[in-house]
């Protein structure tokens, strides 16, 4: 049995592997980049070793450095988690050459399934149904355009070596093909070092259904039921569930058999996932992920299994139990909490987690997280904060429980997709099981809408906290900010901005608290009582539990009745014209690398035109023109690395 396990990963998956290894009595060794020196997985492992600078290419992708740590620590096995080196056949082979167990399939299986084109050819030979398309080696642009016309639009361009939605673009007409192909090649080259493409018929309303498979070293391969991962943004999953709902029994059985045939065709061992796109009664092979999936907890919840434990047992030569697959019990749903802004095309958000309260594991909820309050989300890695997983006897019960768990989340310091997750769980089509991979895009107007301007009650609570924060020493009356005057209470005026709306607040002390009038409206009476970590706000006699996070007495994040709001105090002494000046100077929202500069000095641009493509945190961010104008100067060039706040481009005033 394995006695020492090195985990070649970070974040929540590293923490999750440590949990299972510790329960099995296995000593764990973590590795960390300079950016992760104080990360949670480093704190929880039995020992941890530095492996290089923050960029993954200089640390978590350095297989030679990681193997050296394994040798020095006496690790008998390496678990790659997911991402990074998890599907790197060369690393798996290097582990085998060093007589260190790689927790995953053989290198040959990784190679076979690592190329989408090669995997499609193998699946056709194995009798597994595949989507019509082009999977050839010839990569001339004109040839690909001709193949797209043969297949018939719409088509899907996909990176042959890709995954996670990178280098994947739907194209709806021949006119748009060349530009989208160039963009997909650029993205694939950046993400995988390989710009080869394949083409597939783009199905209009498909579901993304996958089957968990498991193979042992004794030749047995079995499935562990289905998952549905159709709720996606940018081709990346947001909510997953198991078993996949609303599948006819015959179709579900076909998926099970096809997944086992796919795994058998490449001599698969250990945990893997075979992904399909399903439309009506048709199911087509999409790809095989030769690793553990992010969404594996929903399978664990309906089977009662610990898949990481069985990965380790399988790597030690143990055979799968005769009773597999166990019958699924109930239903499970997982939501991924990301540091990103859905209203800004899912732009990643970076910064310290000044507040992070996740629900306690009560009532069936499971929380997998790789960060704690006080940690930071950086621009170097994936912006996932946590996964919340809820089980229930029925699908509705699991969805209701997960919704309740999400309402208990408190977070401040970064923008998140929390509001989107809550809205998705209440979306009528999703609740009824009428959904596909396009649901989020179709309902973007309601699901991705920015938060509405803060209601008057929320602004009144914010004003009360703002005044409370102004309190000085009580030693003399001139430091008081409660409106006391020799000749009666005085009014205190302030201006606030919320979601682009500026409002005027006037406050004065009242017998039972603070009275606040918004834009000359009726007075709202507010009293605040602090019971850390939350605040009780009594508004016109009704008590509300709120979360308040203030930064520099200028920016407030207030969660009121479960809804987050952002409010900004407008300094009356700030220089005039700052807003207009900001429109003339476009800066990098987060640190990243400039992928492309799409304009030159002197070019005329219109509001919304893309000007700069910036890559950060596995995401391509478009910097668009905020207004019509003319480019005055460029502050960057393609290939530059830029810090947050760096000026990228300026427009003539």
The three-class DSSP label of residue 635 is coil
Q: Environment class of residue 245 by beta-carbon count within 10 Å: exposed (0-12), middle (13-18) or buried (19+)?
A: middle
**291 carries an active-site annotation:** yes
Question: What distance, in Å, lies between the first and last C-alpha atoms of the chain?
Answer: 69
77 strand-pairing partners? 5, 101
- Cβ partners under 8 Å of residue 247, min gap 6: 209, 226, 255, 278
Number of residues that this document lists for the chain: 653
Provide the token pair at 113: 């399934």
Question: What's the half-sphere exposure (Cβ side, CA atoms, 13 Å) at 59?
Answer: 20
Q: How far is CA 14 from CA 18, 20, 138, in A?
A: 6, 10, 39
52 strand-pairing partners? 33
Residue whose pair of structure tokens reads 């999936």 in the numeric block = 293
Q: How far is CA 99 from CA 24, 80, 339, in A?
A: 22, 16, 39
Q: How, if at all, do strands 77-79 and 101-102 pair? A: parallel
Q: Is 293:205 a contact under the CB 8 Å cutoff? A: no
What DSSP designation does 324 have?
P
Q: How far is CA 577 from CA 115, 629, 653, in A?
A: 54, 18, 12
**Cα(387)–Cα(13) distance, rounded to whole angstroms?**
10
**Cα(259)–Cα(438) distance, rounded to whole angstroms?**
24
Provide the token pair at 390: 């809820």
Q: How far is CA 124 from CA 127, 129, 564, in A?
A: 5, 7, 50
The catalytic residue among 62, 291, 423, 503 is 291
What DSSP designation does 550 have?
E
**Cα(191)–Cα(618) distance, rounded to whole angstroms?**
8
Provide the token pair at 600: 């030159």
Provide the token pair at 243: 């078993």
The three-class DSSP label of residue 144 is helix
**Cα(235)–Cα(237) distance, rounded to whole angstroms?**
7
Provide the token pair at 295: 């969404």
So which residues are the catalytic ones?
291
């Amino acid at each position: 049995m394995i006695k020492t396990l090195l985990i070649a990963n970070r974040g929540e998956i590293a923490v999750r592997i440590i949990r299972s290894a510790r329960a099995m009595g296995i000593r764990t060794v973590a590795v960390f980049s300079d950016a992760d020196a104080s990360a949670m997985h480093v704190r929880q492992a039995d020992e941890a070793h530095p492996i290089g600078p923050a960029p993954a290419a200089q640390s978590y992708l350095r297989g030679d450095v990681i193997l050296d740590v394994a040798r020095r620590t006496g690790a008998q096995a390496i678990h790659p988690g997911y991402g990074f080196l998890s599907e790197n056949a060369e690393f798996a082979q290097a582990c085998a050459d060093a007589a260190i167990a790689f927790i995953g399939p053989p290198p040959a299986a990784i190679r076979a399934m690592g190329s989408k084109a090669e995997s499609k050819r193998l699946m056709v030979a194995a009798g597994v149904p595949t989507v019509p398309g082009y999977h050839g080696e010839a990569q001339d642009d004109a040839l690909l355009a001709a193949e797209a016309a043969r297949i018939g639009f719409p088509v899907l361009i996909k990176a042959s070596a890709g995954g996670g939605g990178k280098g994947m673009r739907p194209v709806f007409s021949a006119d748009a093909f060349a530009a989208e192909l160039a963009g997909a090649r650029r993205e694939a080259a950046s993400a995988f070092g390989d710009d080869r493409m394949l083409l597939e018929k783009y199905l209009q309303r498909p579901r993304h259904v996958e089957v968990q498979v498991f193979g042992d070293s004794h030749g047995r391969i079995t499935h562990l039921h289905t998952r549905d991962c159709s709720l996606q943004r940018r081709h990346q999953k947001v909510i997953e569930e198991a078993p996949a709902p609303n599948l006819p029994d015959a179709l579900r059985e076909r998926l099970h058999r096809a997944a086992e045939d796919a795994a058998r065709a490449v001599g698969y061992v250990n945990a893997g996932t075979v992904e399909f796109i399903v439309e009506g009664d048709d199911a087509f092979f999409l790809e095989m992920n030769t690793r553990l999936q992010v969404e594996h907890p929903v399978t664990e919840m309906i089977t009662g299994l610990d898949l990481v434990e069985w990965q380790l047992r399988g790597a030690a030569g143990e055979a799968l139990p005769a009773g597999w697959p166990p019958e699924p019990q109930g239903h499970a749903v997982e939501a991924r909490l990301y540091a990103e802004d859905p209203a800004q095309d899912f732009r990643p958000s970076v910064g310290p987690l000044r507040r992070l309260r996740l629900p306690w594991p009560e009532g069936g909820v499971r929380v997998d997280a790789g960060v704690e309050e006080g940690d930071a989300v950086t621009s170097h890695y994936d912006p996932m904060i946590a996964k919340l997983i809820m089980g229930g006897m029925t699908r509705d019960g699991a969805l209701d429980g997960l919704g309740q768990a999400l309402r208990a989340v408190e977070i401040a310091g970064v923008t998140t997709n929390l509001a989107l997750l809550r809205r998705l769980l209440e979306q009528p089509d999703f609740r009824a099981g009428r959904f596909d991979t396009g649901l989020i895009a179709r309902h973007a107007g309601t699901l991705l809408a920015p938060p509405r301007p803060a209601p008057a009650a929320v602004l009144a609570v914010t004003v009360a906290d703002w005044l409370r924060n102004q309190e000085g020493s009580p030693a003399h009356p001139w430091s008081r900010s409660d409106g006391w005057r020799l000749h009666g209470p005085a009014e205190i005026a302030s201006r606030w901005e919320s979601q682009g709306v500026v409002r005027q607040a006037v406050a004065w002390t009242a017998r039972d608290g603070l009275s606040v009038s918004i834009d000359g409206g009726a007075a709202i009476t507010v009293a605040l009582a602090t019971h850390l970590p939350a605040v009780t706000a009594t508004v016109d006699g009704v008590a509300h539990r709120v979360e308040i996070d203030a930064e520099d007495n200028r920016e407030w994040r207030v969660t009121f009745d479960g809804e987050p709001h952002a409010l900004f105090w407008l300094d009356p002494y700030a220089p005039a014209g700052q807003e207009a000046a900001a429109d003339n100077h476009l800066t990098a929202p987060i640190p990243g690398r400039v992928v492309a500069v799409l304009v030159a000095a002197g070019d005329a641009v219109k509001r919304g035109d893309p000007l700069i493509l910036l890559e950060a945190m596995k995401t391509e961010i478009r910097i668009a023109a905020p207004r019509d104008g003319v480019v005055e100067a460029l502050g960057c060039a393609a290939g530059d690395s830029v810090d947050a706040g760096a000026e990228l481009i300026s427009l003539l005033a």
